[in-house]
Structure 1
Amino acid sequence: MLTMKKIQVYIVPICLLPLFVRGPALSAASYDPQDVAARIQRVEHGLIPNPGIIVKGQPPSKAGLVERMKVYRVPGLSIAVINEYGIEWEEGYGIRESGGTGPVTPETLFQAASISKPVAAATALYYVEKGILGLDEDINSRLRSWKIPENAWTRKGKVTLRELLSHTAGLTVSGFPGYAEGKELPSLKQILDGVKPVNTPPIKVDIEIGSSFRYAGGGYTVLQQLLIDVLGRPFPYIVRDAVLIKLDMSQSTYEQPLPQALSGRAASGHRPDGSVLPGKWHIYPEMAAAGLWTTPTDLALFAREIMLAKEGKSDRILSQVIVELMLTPIKEGAGLGLFVKGNGRDFQFSHSGGNEGFRCYMMAYPKRGQGAVIMTNSDLGGDLLPEILRSLSAEYNWPDFKPVEKEAATVAGSELEALAGTYKFTPVDRIKITVGNGCLFADPVFVPPDGKASCVFFPESPLSFFSTETDVTLTFAKNAQGQVTGLNWRRGENQRKALRIK
């Protein structure tokens, strides 16, 4: 199910938090509705299925978005696309909950998961610019209700805000599973200390501070406590006043649990088998790390503001100077709340997110004034995201998210026939290789997300073969006499060897 929405940006004003004040909206670029409608159609029908490999000289096989949602058992998703620094289009697809009829619209709320972090980081940087926080001051000197535990590592160095935001503080706990309906919710201090009813370890420094990048949702939970201690207010209100109101993100809240008044507009999370997450979604008291409920449109407003600020065209929340700091990589492409790559017009910032039952992605090119936000209500949504991004990249001529082009070698028919046969991984696990049209057919082969089928494999060399249907590669082995004795099956880091038996 597709829900058409307006071409130019328009946000329905709703009161997600008390004392909401609607901020001034930036004018969006003017788009021709017919041109945009045609673009949407091309994006929707231009998905190159995973693994995103195409054969040089051959037209790629393309699929429709709704078709691919069914393959990955993604009940619903929502997209917002930025072009020329404006939100060019926004669309909802599918349904909020499997078995239901409520459609996903651009106003449907999704869990942003780890995309909560860049918004929280921008909030902290807002108070840095106000002189209330320092990027390089000892965090423990500002924390009041809890302190980072002292140990050998903290005696060698002190954790700073810069290190918290860039995942270089040496803190533990990469992510949080949240709390299912009916489970006792811990306090923030219990989360930091790792004591019952918490489902994650204590947050502490256990490697040299500043020495390396290690993704740490624990660091953003410390940030949450820091902002509460320094400002003396609930965390959702702090972010609301620093960022959400100023950017007209009127469909966003960090409130956990989600207020009952908003639950009817929220998407339910789904497991890989398509079943609804018990309780519909988990609760995340780790708000700064994973607690934002929002829409692609609201996150697009955030991404647009960061782009404009970097280009010196806006300072609604942060100045150009502080945004440049935010987008300067410290280690392994991690800036202050965002990940960055590329240079010049190809410079990009991004962040992904994954909560139980939800997967999402936000990216933007500041020099190009382009970007996109995609949010899904499924654990398998992350597998669908690259296919959507490839289609968007083709339509908007982005430098990234391109399919991998491989050249098929010409191999003599006799050499291919020599590979045909049956190969055994285990007594009950076998693969059959046949030949046709200058290629090999392998049956069965793993096809994402969890199926098996007969797949075509193109030769890269007389003994190495790739497919456009799966990320499995096949390499055949010969003995000293030149006889084919087996094959090596590889998928990423996983390898399996099979002996030829026929």
Structure 2
Amino acid sequence: MRYLYVLTILFFFISCASETGDDRAAEIHTVENGLLPGILVEGESIPRYSMEERMEKYNVPGAGIAVVSDGKLRWARAYGVANTQTGQPVDTATLFQAGSISKPIAALAALQLWEEGKVDLDADVNTYLKDWKVPQSAYTDSARVTLRLLLTHSAGMTVHGFPGYKQTDRFPDIVTVLEGRGNTDPIVVDTVPGSLWRYSGGGYTVMEKVVEDVSGMPLETYMDKNILPQLGMHHSTYQQPLGSPFTDNASAAYDRDGELIDGLWNNYPEQAAAGLWTTPSDLAAYCIAIQEILSGERNGPISQQTAQAMLTKHLGDWGLGPALQKEGDSLLFGHGGKNAGFTNNMLATAHQGRAVIVMTNADQGGNLMGEAIRAVSDYYGWGFSKPRTVQLIEMAADSLAVLAGNYVLDFPVPGIGEYRIFVEPRDGNLFVKDPNNGEENLLSPMDSLKFVDVEKGENVRFSVVGDTLEMTWNGRYRFLRMGQHP
């Protein structure tokens, strides 16, 4: 009887485990075959796509997804290949370059030093900087650059992002980057600190220098010792250039046509801004750690009080590292990431134990990423990201022609300089060609000045300011028309 009892209990647990596994497999199958576009046209049926077909469409060789539910890693899944030369597949231990997702995790170093009383978030950072200082100018006479302003992209500092360095390039040190002797401009203050929000990878490079000068350690060493292990990020590193043993599990990078980038990937001396190598599961561990620290369930590299400060909105709805959305119990934190040949996103609730991370090894991964996040949100009913239903109108060719021309972004782009795109009418829509990266968009009219790319989810608004026709892309990038005809 005792033998039969033991067998019964054993069978019960095996059955439960099998049932749980089947349930999880069904969840994954539904999500990965339920990808949703960002835009739905009123009156049309809702399309659903599989990961495989959308990876093929967007020239994405490899991708990874991690989902957190009820404060735990619910599932992680890998797709495609990490290296088309060797045939190495993506698995859940494959490292991707995180791009700007590096920033909120590197920010924990500055917050930890603040908690330890080694820095003041509101003091002039030149107090802590040693062999390089923020250049003084008329803009810094009335307000100083501080860590709080650097972390929230409101210090008035230049250089939006970094193109990286090829394997054959000379790899500069951080002072070389700060002084503009690498492949980007000098990092300086060009507006009054604290007066506006403007994304600045340059500002995070200054923050990195503060951490290194105060701690006496290179950033990757500080993160390896004090931050990453405490978060449970055991397959991550800020090492640049990447060395052994990480290279064995690193994904190669692919351009928008799905072609391998020379040297497999670029290197980024701007480690805090763009230098993290990690996995979707490790980023899930970061999200879980922040959620648990915030709720008081665990200790970590920062305290509950510091986590609360980190997730407090400043200018531009930005926290001390993460971007923030919504309020109260619905508060979301996260960050996107874009390096050459890598495109990623991370989004998590502060209080509800939920998160989704998508990482891709391709320049066109953003389209796939958005569709995957919408699929996860739709399946679990989270409301993270929902398709938007639009109503389109018909416009006459001469009305569309009024908006045609060549447009220039209102700030120079590192490695490119003047960023110019071309707009022309085509079959009742506006066709946009970006010669800088080869991207093309077909914009359908919602009214005479508002347009949408139904396929890619891009939103564009035209306006006349003085004598200049302006085009605002996704509410963020402002282009000025410089000529009537492209």
Q: Shorter-chain-normalised TM-score: which range?
A: 0.7 to 0.9
1:98 Cα offset (Å): 3.2
Question: Which residue of structure 2 lines up, in the alignment, with residue 241 of structure 1?
Answer: 225
Residues 1:64 and 2:50 are matched in the alignment: yes
CA distance in 2, matches of 1:31, 1:335: 41
- 2:367·2:456 contact (CA, 8 Å) conserved in 1? no
Check 1:39–1:146 CA distance in 2 against 1; reply closer, same or farther (3 A cut).
same
Corresponding residue for 1:157? 143
What's the TM-score, normalizing by structure 2? 0.79
Q: d(CA) in 2 for partners of 1:63 and 1:379? A: 20
The C-alpha deviation readout for 1:468-497, integer Å capped at 9, x for no partner, is 5466999xxxxxxxxxxxxxxx9978999x
Task: Tell me how far apart the structure 2 counterparts of residues 491 and 209 of structure 1 sit (CA, whole Å).
Answer: 26
- 1:115-173 per-position Cα deviation (integer Å, ceiling 9, x unaligned): 11111111211121111221112211111121111121222222111111111111111
Match of 1:89 among 75, 78, 103: 75
8 A Cα contact 2:177 2:184, kept in partner: yes
Whether the aligned pair in 2 keeps the contact of 1:53 and 1:467 (CA below 8 Å) is no
Pair 1:211 & 2:195 matched: yes
Match of 2:173 among 187, 200, 212: 187
Instruction: Tell me the amino acid that sits aligned with residue 39 of structure 2.
Output: G
Counterpart in the other structure of 2:29:
41
TM-score (norm 1): 0.77
| Greater helix proportion | 2
Give the 3 Å change call, closer, same or farther, for CA 102–211 of structure 1 in structure 2: same
- The equivalent position to 1:364 in structure 2, one of 345, 348, 351, is 348
Partner of 1:23: none
Question: What is the letter of the counterpart of residue 206 of structure 1?
Answer: D
Q: Deviations over 1:28-60 (max 9, x none)?
A: xx99222211111111011123x422435x541
Q: In structure 2, what is the equivalent of residue 111 of structure 1?
A: 97
CA distance in 2 between counterparts of 1:97 and 1:205 reads 41
**In the alignment, does 2:253 pair up with 1:265?**
no
Q: 5 Å matches for 1:387-426?
A: 387-406=371-390
Quote the Cα distance in structure 2 between the aligned partners of 1:334 and 1:452: 29
Partner of 1:269, secondary structure, is coil
- Whichever residue aligns with residue 214 of structure 1, its letter is R
CA distance 1:180–1:366, shift in 2 (3 Å) = same
Deviation at 1:241, TM superposition (A): 1.8
Q: Structure 1: which 5+ runs fail to align?
A: 1-29, 410-415, 434-441, 475-489, 497-502
1:75 aligns to what? 61
What is the aligned-residue RMSD (CA, Å)? 3.5
Contact map agreement 1:110 1:267 (CA 8 A) in 2 = yes
For residue 68 of structure 1, give the secondary structure of its aligned residue in structure 2: helix
What residue ranges of structure 2 are gaps of 5+ in the alignment?
1-17, 406-423, 461-471, 482-486
- Aligned mate of 1:135, from 121, 130, 135: 121
Q: Contact (CA 8 Å) 1:76, 1:376: kept in 2 or not? A: yes
What is the match of residue 17 of structure 1?
Answer: none
Q: Quick check: 1:144 aligned with 2:130?
A: yes
In the alignment, structure 1 residue 332 sits paired with structure 2 residue 316:
yes
Once the two structures are aligned, what percentage of the paired residues are identical?
A: 38
Structure-2 change in CA distance of 1:471 and 1:140 (3 Å): closer
What's the secondary structure of 1:245's corresponding residue? helix
CA distance 1:220–1:465, change in 2 (3 Å): closer
Residue of structure 2 equivalent to 1:303: 287
In 2, are the aligned partners of 1:358 and 1:376 still within 8 Å (CA)? yes
CA contact (8 A) 2:431 2:440 kept: no
